[in-house]
A and B are shown apart, each in its own frame.
Chain A
């Protein structure tokens, strides 16, 4: 674990570095505990080694209402095998030790139940850099924003194609690190095309903030990553990584090989765009 940079510093540095290299950052997602706690850690290390700039660790939750079938299945398996919050924190530590900053992505109730202040303290102690909250918007986030500031964690909120300019202003003013732009109206999962709405949304977000804007939902290939990298500061890929592990089943080495290959394809993609 590094003491050299604080949480907020680490995420900003990632985007500053990728911008200096005239490319977008690659952000990968995996849920903790899938296929096992150690299996998820190995997969995250493979992502880090393959060129992911940031890694989101999902906290498995019983009611993932923004997730499609792939992540639902992975999370269901993780919970069935008894994934705990301590496993999420251990995974965060393992990622941070690779030098790649780790964020936790979580529905709100597990954090609410753990205690917002306690979770922020423990996430910071584990080496985490921030928290992405898909079902918490700034209006209801007062205690979390206070805890995030106290423990130097980046709060990352989502904007959607349906967000009004007033809401984009509100959300971007509460974000630190980066802004998560949902590319389409819908749940997580690979899509044939990422949607013209994403470029328009990124442009609207830029009118309200200088923070980097990363686009998620639907990206699964290097070609799509290159397309998104043409207009966004970061490309977020989740279900496609989870699919690598789901498809490999019990064949762990095949799963890790698939993760490495996909990471390489996406890492090339975020560097292929003309910027």
Chain B
């Protein structure tokens, strides 16, 4: 079964050191207790594990391949680079791993409706997909700004039968979509499950989502040993909330020789203040039901964030990352928009793979880490999603649209 826990486990109340916990409204406490109990019971139930494993294999397409990318690696100091191909999972990203688990839990709890927040739209698409598959009503909250940036994913969710609600309050991005989903959940919790899309939120979400995503690293660890007979020197992943990174890292936490490197969205540069690099530029506090690092002003108000990647545009980070950061087991670096787009371009042209812009931050990390470690190094990069949704943004970034098309594109927005 794919959801067993190993390695560092949070305490009974979901604390990773000082981080995590359950700092949430009382109205949600009974639902969080119910979910914790349902998840513990499901974890111990071989039938649940078998059902999830079958869906992951026969529906989502697991295991995803491990692809060596030598032409890309030539730009990373000549080391060897392997990509864990979550972009090839059904719906185009790792998000499906978590969503299938939570959707099965929703049915197990006897709930009939599933709600979720989404930033880039990948989690919303995955949730809408699982809802269609399992016959659940589905509502997706998405910041109005993001519905414009990711119009294609809005259409995909609606095709799948989900209702997409644009959120018009606050910064109109992911954090406001999360607020609005919590507001729905407080009023609908008897019939509704909130399918949180990352390793964030109140306990048990950070642990549960971690366990559902852990399959990434479990597969990759076996695949790379099978391929080259040893562990990689570093595992590299992008970090917004941090679910693909935790999924990639977790199976390697006990392997002391393996560096775990998270790549946050450095936006226009840390010095400009226009970024989403929570661990590099933030401080501990409380947001969305958890204690973690967040980007906040001197009075504890959440700061506006920026990233070219809607999926990384979040002022908090999963509490297990905060803990891995403080303990030094994982290291985090900020990748700017420019660096991410250069890596995006490099992978497209050298390997014929269009990555999600989120994942391009991890690729940019590899372009830095490769030369640091030298030509004997082996890097494992989690390619968390594919870039189809980002074609419009990338085309405009690189000037691939003719003047006339660019005009159409502007008008379409």
- Residue numbers of A with Cβ under 8 A of B are 61-66, 68-69, 72, 76, 79, 84-85, 108-114, 134-137, 139-140, 157-164, 167, 171, 182, 184-187
Contact = CB atoms under 8 A, between A and B. Distances in A.
A65 B194 CA distance: 14
A162 B30 contact: yes
A162 B301 contact: no
Contacts, number: 113
30 contacts: A61-B301, A62-B301, A63-B288, A65-B182, A66-B27, A72-B170, A76-B169, A109-B286, A109-B302, A110-B299, A113-B300, A135-B24, A135-B25, A137-B23, A137-B24, A139-B22, A140-B22, A140-B23, A158-B25, A160-B27, A160-B30, A162-B27, A163-B29, A164-B33, A182-B27, A184-B187, A185-B186, A185-B187, A185-B190, A186-B187
B301 A167 contact: no
Given A109-B286, A112-B285, A112-B300, A137 B179 contact: no
Contacts of A167: 26, 29-30
Contact of A136 (B23, B186, B299): B23
B186 A109 contact: no
B31 A162 contact: yes
B21 interface: yes
B306 interface: no
B296 interface: yes
Interface in B132-166: none
Contacts of B391: none
Nearest to A217: B27
Given A63-B170, A63-B175, A137-B26, A109 B187 contact: no
B413 interface: no
B13 interface: yes
Contact of A62 (B21, B22, B189, B302): B302
A183 to B, nearest CB: 11
A164 B30 contact: yes
B287 interface: yes
A163 B30 contact: yes
Contact of B27 (A62, A76, A84, A185): A185
Contacts of A108: 23, 286
Given A63-B287, A158-B26, A162-B30, A114 B187 contact: no
Contacts of A136: 23
Contact of A113 (B21, B27, B299): B299
B22 A63 contact: no
Given A63-B175, A137-B29, A185-B189, A112 B286 contact: yes
B183 interface: yes
Contact of A186 (B170, B178, B186, B288): B186
Contacts of A114: 299-300
Nearest to B169: A72
B331 to A, nearest CB: 26
A71 B378 CA distance: 53
Contact of B285 (A85, A113, A137): A113
Q: Is the interface of B mostly helix, strand, loop or mixed?
A: mixed
B124 to A, nearest CB: 19
A85 B298 CA distance: 10
Contacts of B29: 137, 160, 162-163, 167
Contacts of B22: 137, 139-140
Contact of A163 (B26, B176, B182): B26
Contacts of B33: 164
Interface string B175-217: 1101100110011111000000000000000000000000000
A187 B26 CA distance: 12
Contact of B300 (A76, A109, A134, A135): A109
Contact of A63 (B21, B179, B187, B189): B179
A110 B24 contact: no
B304 to A, nearest CB: 9
A187 B187 contact: yes
B293 to A, nearest CB: 12
Nearest to B27: A160
Contacts of A113: 285, 296, 298-300
Interface string B23-48: 11111011101000000000000000
B230 to A, nearest CB: 43
A66 B22 CA distance: 15
A91 to B, nearest CB: 15
Contacts of B30: 160, 162-164, 167
A85 B297 CA distance: 12
A84 B299 contact: yes
B179 A64 contact: yes
Interface in B276-302: 285-289, 294, 296, 298-302
A76 B170 CA distance: 7
Nearest to B24: A135
B292 to A, nearest CB: 11
Contact of B301 (A68, A110, A140): A110
A113 B283 CA distance: 9
Given A134-B25, A182-B26, A187 B186 contact: yes
A253 B27 CA distance: 37
Contacts of B24: 135, 137
Contacts of A66: 25, 27, 183, 186
A171 B26 contact: yes
A159 B294 CA distance: 28
A136 B289 CA distance: 9
Interface string B1-33: 000000000000100000001111111011101
A108 B289 CA distance: 10
Most buried by B among A62, A109, A159, A164: A62
